[in-house]
Every structure is written in C-alpha cells, then in structure tokens.
Amino acid sequence: MGIKKIYFAQPWGGLGDSLGYSNLPRLYHEKGIPFQVSFLNYSRNREIHNLVWKENKFVDVKPSFRIPNAGYIMFNRAHVNNSSYNIVQTINALHGFDPGSGYPEIHIKNPNLKKQRLSSVADLNAFSLFNTQGVVYDQKYTENLKINLSNDGTKILHFPNIYNERNQHDNSISITSIESLVSTLLSTDLFYCLNSGSHSLASALKNSFGSPKKIISFLPDSDIKNLKDWGYVFDNVEYDTIPSEKNSSPYLPVKMRIYKRILDYLS
C-alpha cells in the first residue's frame, strides 16, 4: 500500500457512522500499519469515541495532529460500486481490503449483563432518518408504534441525555450511557429498532456475543429496491418498512457541516 501509518477521520459523528469504519484498525494491523485517529475525526460524544476507537486494541490511542489519509476522504478518491456490499464492506473495499463479512467490530473486554433477560426491547430513535434525509420516518406512525409495542409488553428505550422525547412511556428503560445500552442489548431476546446507531451496535453485538437473539429493524418506505442500497443493513438483522414522509428541509448540524467541509477540502 505504500503507507507507513494511518491517520483516520470522518465527519458524521454518530455511533452507526463510526461503527461503519470499525474494521479498518484490525485490517491495517494485519498489514503491519499502525492506526491512529486524527484530531479531525468527529465523534458526537466521548462515549462513542471510547467504544469504537479507544477500546479497540488495534488503535494507537495517542492523539494524532496529522492530516487524515484514511476514512471519509476515500469516498472522494475512489469509487466502489457493488450492489451486494453494505456500508462496512464498501468502506473496506475503498481502503483496498477484501469486503469481509459486513459486520461492525467492537472490543468489549467484560460485558456487563443484566440480572434478568429482557424478552422484547425497542429503540425507535434515529437522528439521521428523522432530520438529514429527504425521505424520513413518519413521526406520528413511530409514536403510535411505540405505544402499541409498549402495550404488548415491549420495553421502550428512553434516552434522557440525548433526545427530548415528547412521550415517555411507563413501560420504559432509561439509557444514560453507551455502557447501559450495551448491557441492555446483550440481555435482550428481541430488539426492535429503526436504522440507527443502536441498530448497528445490536448487529455487532449479535455477531460477537449472540445477543440480541433477534433484531427487527424498520426502514422508511421508499423507492429503494435493493436492500443493500440503504448502506447500514446487516445479514443478521430482519428488515421491514414503515410509513415515511417527505422532509422539506433536511439539514446537517453545524459540527457535521464544518468537519465535512474540512475533509472535503483535504481530499
């Protein structure tokens, strides 16, 4: 490859976005190439950085102030067009590697399980597919879905530190950290979710630890015919569609726009 060291960055910041790149440290390690995270990498919070990068045994955790040479910028330098690849496989191929199995990687040494297993849990939050896309979930439908699932005995995940949710359900679990989210998912039999960071995390956990035992993810109804065109889709997840609506004013938060502009310029 002719590269002595990797300096990685991406501008999106979310948990699912970061997990999409999570194969790269191991793949470069297998080539004998050290992997560091550039100061231009964006993580929406410290917990995402810690879970995906700091706890990864293949990442040199010393802070790097070098310009990135891997990550998001590869989308501006190369092109991979394979309809059978998901986002993880596409990213691997863009960096010159075999596509692999398509599952995100996480490195958890001592997972903390709940004392009792949870039969059914749902997280119906998804930042990007409520805000940044032209076609998004129908919010009224998802709120009714929460109520219906809750009435059927499903525990609804509530994120008081992240989302200002309009309705808090009595049958809910408060998630105040990624560690508590991991613990909950590892103790869950059936997990309902949207196309979100917890969806990618659940797929990675199921692949590595066998739980959640079953994952059902809902995608917005759209004209997309090939499931893999959604990018964040995984073979150990079952998919269905729910009603969508047009988003007349999609937007990227300020920090995402800034990091994207910088990385586009450096490409």
What is the Cα Rg of the chain in Å? 18
Nearest to 149 by CA among 113, 125, 124, 176: 124
Which CATH number applies to 118-246?
3.40.50.2000
Burial of 76 per CB tally in 10 Å (0-12, 13-18, 19+): exposed
Give CATH 3.40.50.2000 domain extents, the chain.
118-246
User: What is the pLDDT at residue 111?
Assistant: 78
Residue 2 has pLDDT above 80, yes or no: no
User: What is the pLDDT at residue 71?
Assistant: 97
Q: What is the pLDDT of residues 131-180, one digit of tens each?
A: 899 899 999 999 999 999 999 999 999 988 776 655 455 688 999 999 99
Neighbours of 262 (CB within 10 A): 16
Residue 188 has pLDDT above 70, yes or no: yes
Mean pLDDT of all residues in 221-230: 92
Cα separation, 55 vs 250, whole angstroms: 34
Residue 208 has pLDDT above 60, yes or no: yes
Residue 32 has pLDDT above 70, yes or no: yes
Cα separation, 38 vs 7, whole angstroms: 5
Residue 234 has pLDDT above 60, yes or no: yes
Mean pLDDT of all residues in 241-253: 93
Percent of the chain clearing pLDDT 70 (strictly above): 97
Residue 48 has pLDDT above 90, yes or no: yes
Q: How far is CA 86 from CA 1, 54, 90, 192, 227, in A?
A: 24, 25, 6, 20, 9
Answer whether 231's CB lies under 8 Å from 208's CB: no
Residue 1 has pLDDT above 90, yes or no: no
